[in-house]
Amino acid sequence: MNNTTTFIRKKKNTNYSIVDNSIIHSKDLTIEESFLLIYLLSLPDTWSLYKTNIEKEFKLKKLSKSRFNKSWKGLKEKGFIEGSKVKGAGGKFHSWKYRVIEDPFSDLPKTDMSGNQHIGKPITHNKVDILIPNKKNTNRINTNENNNKIYNILGELSDRNKNIIINNRTFIKNRFPKYPELLSVTSPEEMKSIQSKIPTPIWNKVADRLMQIGIAAGN
């Protein structure tokens, strides 16, 4: 049996959005995360984002508050939403500053994984952890650290690089808990040494994320 399909598409001159198809077909995003991200990217650049207002919109679409918050949190953990508090007079919380990012890793510097190039700092592990260099010292992050503590340990790295490291480590830790050794990789040499120990289907899903961690840690 051979199926045939005809797509009847509306001609669009105004009021339409263009998003990367990878958002729709992503295996890392849930359906609700994909739809929320597409909705956010459809908003005008001049839009002031209020989470509570977006939540109300999705309530009308029959998405419960808990499922909305889970999707919002998922997009934050994966780097598609960044939020920082803005303080007003007297140092009190004033508002939120949001960034909605279609591709969190698109503008990161690329690296050649061949040869003897280093990303970050070559390390030797006595336990499963990750070493992040900064200007004053070398910080050690154990695999059991929570994200708030990791954020502080990362010290003088930029907020962007901290988020890249945390988001990718969270993904690896949650999706592949049987391979905690993946959290110890921060250089091309370590990637090469560990690759043979990881099943190919899993490696294909984490290799780019390990590279992004290394780039962020070495900046």
Cα radius of gyration (the chain): 20
Q: Indicate the pLDDT class of residue 189, thresholds 50, 70 and 90.
A: confident
CA–CA separation, 91 vs 71, rounded Å? 30
**Average model confidence (pLDDT) for the chain?**
76
Could you name the CATH architecture of 21-100?
Answer: Orthogonal Bundle (1.10)
pLDDT in tens, 33-58: 999 999 999 998 889 999 999 999 99
pLDDT in tens, 100-114: 988 876 544 443 333
CB 161 within 8 A of CB 219: yes
- The confidence score (pLDDT) of residue 127 equals 32
Q: Indicate the pLDDT class of residue 25, thresholds 50, 70 and 90.
A: confident
Calculate mean pLDDT across residues 186-193. Answer: 78
Specify the pairing of strand 93-100 against strand 81-87: antiparallel
Q: Which amino acid is at 105?
A: F
Backbone angles phi, psi at 53, to 5 degrees: -70, -40
Q: What are the C-alpha distances in Å from 123 to residues 136, 138, 150, 187?
A: 17, 11, 18, 8
**pLDDT above 70: residue 165:** yes
212/81: higher pLDDT = 81
Calculate mean pLDDT across residues 56-74. Answer: 94
CA–CA separation, 201 vs 205, rounded Å? 7
CA–CA separation, 41 vs 35, rounded Å? 10
Of 213, 210, 131, the closest CA to residue 164 belongs to: 213
| 3-state SS class at 167 | helix
- The confidence score (pLDDT) of residue 170 equals 80
CB 125 within 8 A of CB 183: no
- The confidence score (pLDDT) of residue 114 equals 31
Start-end ranges of CATH 1.10.10 in the chain? 21-100
What size, in residues, is the chain? 219
**pLDDT above 70: residue 190:** yes
pLDDT in tens, 128-160: 345 444 444 445 555 555 666 666 667 667 777
